[in-house]
Amino acid sequence: MTDPAASSTKPRVLSCMQPTGDVHLGNYLGALQPWVAGQHRNDAFHGIVDLHALTVTDKPGVVGQAAVELAAMFFAVGLDPDVATVFVQSHVPEHNQLGWVMECTISFGELSRMTQFKDKSAKREQDFISGGLFTYPALQAADILLYDTNQVPVGDDQRQHIEITRDAALRFNHRFGETFVLPEAVTPAAGARVMSLQDPSSKMSKSDDSDAGCVYLTDDPKAVMKKFKRAVTDSETGPDSVRFDREIKPGVSNLLEIHAAVTDRTPQAVSEEFEQYGALKVATGEAVLAVLDPIRERYNELMEDRGELARLLKIGAERARGVAAATLERAYTNIGMLPA
Ligand code: TYM
């Protein structure tokens, strides 16, 4: 097996996903599909960020199982372990170490402005809101900066976290000298913000109130078709009613964008093929299933061989540590920490 991290001149790409429940179509179109598409032209690192999942974990035995399932999904969608480095965040302790440095580099005010914290803490109003939920973007900044990352392929909802990472890198470099590469967010042309099929004004999310609005990659085909057939649209009729206009027609536009993302076209091009919502819903469900069917099969196969998954994750962690340890060392040296 070659070591892709060893002497690559390709752009360094890093992106991660939380092992908190099943992967949905928004995760796939906003992140996984672009990761797979980019793995050959980039030097790609993809993390299963189990430490981030601890912000909302309060039961034993859940995170590890979710991490191995997410690893199987990363490989099932097509990440090639010979090409991309796939690792579990807690296997690379430099994330915690640089995470603390980042907490001391990002201000309380900056963390307070994070919309994801405001949304998530509002949703958990009656629940336990951990300090980690608040400081989470500092750990995310560490995830990114540890790998000298040039590009972070993410969905739209992560843009603010990449911005705060850039600000942290700039501040650190200003205080302690050139240390970190400035990363930029990259979002896909179609699929950067997949909306709920039941409420197209809110993004598709694991914490959706209704399961009917969220398509999971492991849903059985009947369930997927049912969700698409029941997708909320609007009451307009006529041959021109199928058109892409996110403001005025959020439900229809969401279907067009999903369809476009799985068939590698533009939403406008897809809209020209349809005159009725019913036909659009069925065709979109079928186009999505054409992509999900083989993924589901590979996922089930991979989950049969835990030993192989563990082996691949061990190799990934070793490669990741090779890069992360050097960056942490550079940061400590530039700060002027007393060597151990
Ligand atoms: P997470 O685990 O919530 O989501 C993983 C990826 O899926 C994208 N995504 C979506 N894209 C389009 N439409 C949607 N409805 C949708 N829902 C989710 C997200 O934008 C993301 O790209 N904080 C991150 C995890 C993280 C990370 C990192 C990402 C930790 N460290 C370093 C990049 C780099 C998160 O919670 O993503």
Residue 225: per-residue pLDDT: 98
Residue 191: per-residue pLDDT: 96
Whether 29 is covered by a domain: the verdict is yes
Claim to verify: residue 230 and residue 318 sit in the same structural domain: no
Rounded CA gap, 121 and 134, in Å? 9
Nearest CA to ligand 1 atom 27: 16
Active-site residues: which are they? 120, 203, 206
Residues in the chain: 340
Are the CB atoms for 35 and 42 separated by under 8 Å? no
Rounded CA gap, 13 and 44, in Å? 5
Backbone angles phi, psi at 44, to 5 degrees: -100, 135
Ligand 1 mutation pick, 51, 158, 161, 208, max ligand atoms within 8 A of CB: 158
Whether 2 is covered by a domain: the verdict is no
Whether 142 is covered by a domain: the verdict is yes
Joined tokens for residue 161: 């976290």
- Give the residue carrying structure tokens 């999942």: 53
Claim to verify: residue 324 and residue 266 sit in the same structural domain: no
Whether 25 is covered by a domain: the verdict is yes
Claim to verify: residue 16 and residue 51 sit in the same structural domain: yes
How many folded domains does the chain comprise?
2
Residue 3: per-residue pLDDT: 52
Residue 126: per-residue pLDDT: 79
Sheet with strand 151-153: strands edge to edge:
85-88, 43-48, 12-17, 151-153, 184-186
Nearest CA to ligand 1 atom 9: 27
State which ligand 1 atom lies nearest to the alpha carbon of 27. 7
Joined tokens for residue 9: 């001149």
156 Cα: distance to centroid of ligand 1 (angstroms): 8
Ligand 1 mutation pick, 92, 120, 154, 159, max ligand atoms within 8 A of CB: 154
Backbone angles phi, psi at 43, to 5 degrees: -95, 95
What is the dihedral sign for C-alpha 17, 286, 187, 121?
Answer: negative
Claim to verify: residue 66 and residue 172 sit in the same structural domain: yes
Claim to verify: residue 224 and residue 155 sit in the same structural domain: no
239 Cα: distance to centroid of ligand 1 (angstroms): 37
Can you say how many angstroms the Cα of residue 302 is from the centroid of all Cα atoms in its chain?
A: 21
Nearest CA to ligand 1 atom 37: 17
Residue 51: per-residue pLDDT: 98
Claim to verify: residue 237 and residue 312 sit in the same structural domain: no
Are the CB atoms for 299 and 72 separated by under 8 Å? yes
- Which residue in 69, 14, 21 sits closest to 46, CA to CA? 14
Are the CB atoms for 67 and 19 separated by under 8 Å? yes
Whether 156 is covered by a domain: the verdict is yes
Rounded CA gap, 156 and 164, in Å? 14
Are the CB atoms for 228 and 285 separated by under 8 Å? yes
Claim to verify: residue 72 and residue 168 sit in the same structural domain: yes
Spans of the chain below 50 pLDDT: 1-2
Ligand 1 mutation pick, 12, 14, 17, 54, max ligand atoms within 8 A of CB: 17
Claim to verify: residue 119 and residue 266 sit in the same structural domain: no
Backbone angles phi, psi at 217, to 5 degrees: -65, -25
Whether 206 is covered by a domain: the verdict is no
Residue 1: per-residue pLDDT: 46
Claim to verify: residue 187 and residue 95 sit in the same structural domain: yes
Backbone angles phi, psi at 166, to 5 degrees: -60, -45
Claim to verify: residue 237 and residue 277 sit in the same structural domain: yes
Joined tokens for residue 125: 């109003």
Claim to verify: residue 239 and residue 109 sit in the same structural domain: no
Residue 269 belongs to domain with CATH number? 1.10.240.10
Whether 20 is covered by a domain: the verdict is yes
Residue 7: per-residue pLDDT: 57
Residue 6: per-residue pLDDT: 54
Q: What domain range is 101 assigned to?
A: 12-192+306-335
Give the residues surrounding ligand 1 with Cβ less than 6 Å away.
14-18, 26-27, 29-31, 49, 52, 140, 143-144, 152, 154-155, 157-158, 161, 192-194, 203-204
Whether 340 is covered by a domain: the verdict is no
Backbone angles phi, psi at 303, to 5 degrees: -70, -15
Rounded CA gap, 12 and 42, in Å? 6
Residue 310: per-residue pLDDT: 98
Claim to verify: residue 176 and residue 258 sit in the same structural domain: no
Residue 159 belongs to domain with CATH number? 3.40.50.620
